[in-house]
């Protein structure tokens, strides 16, 4: 594996990805802003640090990455800092199907994909039609729970819309239930879907409203917000698992019809709300490694059942690349 270097941007889940890569025998490299060099130099599993002044300088150092035979592992910061178009321009080996970016980045396209995959989704409304409340309004490009508002009725919606800056947004039924994030991994090498781990996000202030009894909230103007500040590990009732696997498999299978024969592969996450009658609503799909997997650097209960050794999502990616190289099938999993 010494022939290839696993590389990523210094942010999000870089530590997990590079630790996993080193455990699988790869050389490792991080591309980072100058002020984070100090952080990444603390970890012996990172062989090389390439500094840039700003993220848009990434393309200036790309020739260095190619010279080192790098395979780039995208994570949440790739789209946030380089944009969809920036990601598409990357010409270093890139782990993932770039066609997925268009389906994921457009909320309506994403909705269509999940609907075709027969996933239960919250109802969506246009501002013109009769809306059933409560709702959540989401701007395009919102991330980390910022760029949302909740409305309990029409007056509330119209009032909040006035001060809502984004022009592109969707209106979604607000599903009352618990939010649960399923981390999957799909391998096109053996055509298997794995459940790597599960987390729940800790969102302020929505996760704290129950701490103040309803009577004490009366008269206070408190709007729920969904700003993510942490993640907790979770296991779900085993009786839910057949449904959880089936959902992931349908999403992958539909992706092969919509976004080229390769479809969606590698890690992805279905972000869901589960209601008291155990209906699983998907509110979003993230088509790469998500930050919630950082809880499981040494594996999760689910990955332990599969591997009998510590297997993070980051390590699973490196294992996949290793197998692909050994089988001379790298082209199946890089773009």
Which residues of this chain interact with ligand ATP, rule CB under 6 A?
A: 122, 136, 142-145, 148, 172, 174-175, 179, 201, 203, 206, 226, 271, 273, 283-284, 286
Nearer to ligand ATP, 82 or 283 (CB): 283
Please report how close the Cβ of residue 300 comes to ligand ATP at its closest, in angstroms: 19
Nearer to ligand ATP, 62 or 284 (CB): 284
Nearer to ligand ATP, 4 or 111 (CB): 111
- Categorise residue 147: left if φ over 0, alpha if ψ from -120 to 50, beta otherwise: left
Nearer to ligand ATP, 61 or 143 (CB): 143
Please report how close the Cβ of residue 87 comes to ligand ATP at its closest, in angstroms: 15
Nearer to ligand ATP, 50 or 209 (CB): 209
Separation CA 226–CA 203 (nearest Å): 5
Please report how close the Cβ of residue 206 comes to ligand ATP at its closest, in angstroms: 6
Separation CA 321–CA 6 (nearest Å): 9
Nearer to ligand ATP, 70 or 117 (CB): 117
Nearer to ligand ATP, 48 or 284 (CB): 284
Please report how close the Cβ of residue 328 comes to ligand ATP at its closest, in angstroms: 35
Please report how close the Cβ of residue 226 comes to ligand ATP at its closest, in angstroms: 4
Please report how close the Cβ of residue 243 comes to ligand ATP at its closest, in angstroms: 18
Nearer to ligand ATP, 27 or 201 (CB): 201
Cβ contact 13:314 at 8 Å: yes
Give burial (CB, 10 Å; 0-12/13-18/19+) of 146: exposed
Cα distance from N-terminal residue to C-terminal residue, the chain:
19
Please report how close the Cβ of residue 106 comes to ligand ATP at its closest, in angstroms: 13
Cβ contact 160:151 at 8 Å: yes
> What does the chain come to in residues?
335
Please report how close the Cβ of residue 123 comes to ligand ATP at its closest, in angstroms: 9
């Amino acid at each position: 594996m010494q022939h290839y270097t696993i590389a990523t941007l210094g942010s999000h889940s870089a530590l997990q990805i590079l630790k996993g890569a080193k455990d699988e025998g790869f050389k490792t490299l991080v591309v980072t802003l100058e002020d984070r060099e100090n952080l990444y130099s603390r970890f012996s599993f990172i062989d090389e640090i390439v500094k840039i002044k700003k993220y848009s300088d990434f393309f200036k150092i790309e020739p260095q990455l190619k010279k080192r035979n790098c395979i780039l592992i995208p994570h949440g910061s790739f789209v946030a800092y380089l944009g969809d178009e920036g990601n598409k321009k990357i010409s270093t080996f890139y782990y993932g199907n770039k066609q997925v970016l268009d389906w994921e980045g457009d909320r309506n396209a994403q909705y269509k994909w999940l609907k075709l995959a027969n996933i239960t989704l919250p109802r969506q409304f246009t501002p013109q039609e009769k809306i059933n409340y409560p709702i959540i309004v989401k701007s395009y490009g919102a991330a980390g729970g910022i760029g949302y508002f909740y409305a309990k009725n029409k007056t509330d919606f119209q009032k909040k819309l006035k001060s809502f800056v984004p022009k592109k947004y969707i209106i979604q039924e607000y599903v009352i239930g618990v939010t649960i994030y399923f981390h999957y991994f799909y391998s096109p090498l053996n055509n298997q879907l794995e459940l790597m781990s599960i987390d729940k996000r800790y969102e302020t202030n929505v996760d704290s409203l129950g701490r103040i009894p309803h009577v004490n909230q009366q008269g206070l103007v408190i709007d729920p917000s969904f700003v993510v500040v942490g993640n907790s590990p979770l296991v779900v009732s085993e009786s839910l698992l057949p449904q959880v696997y089936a959902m992931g498999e349908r999403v992958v299978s539909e992706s092969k019809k919509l976004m080229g024969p390769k479809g969606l592969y590698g890690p992805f996450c279905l972000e869901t709300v589960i209601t008291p009658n155990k209906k699983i609503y998907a509110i979003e799909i993230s088509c790469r490694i998500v930050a919630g997997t950082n809880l499981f650097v040494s594996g999760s209960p689910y990955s332990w059942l599969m591997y009998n050794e510590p297997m993070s999502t980051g390590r699973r990616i490196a294992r996949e690349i290793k197998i692909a190289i050994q089988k001379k099938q790298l082209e199946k999993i890089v773009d």
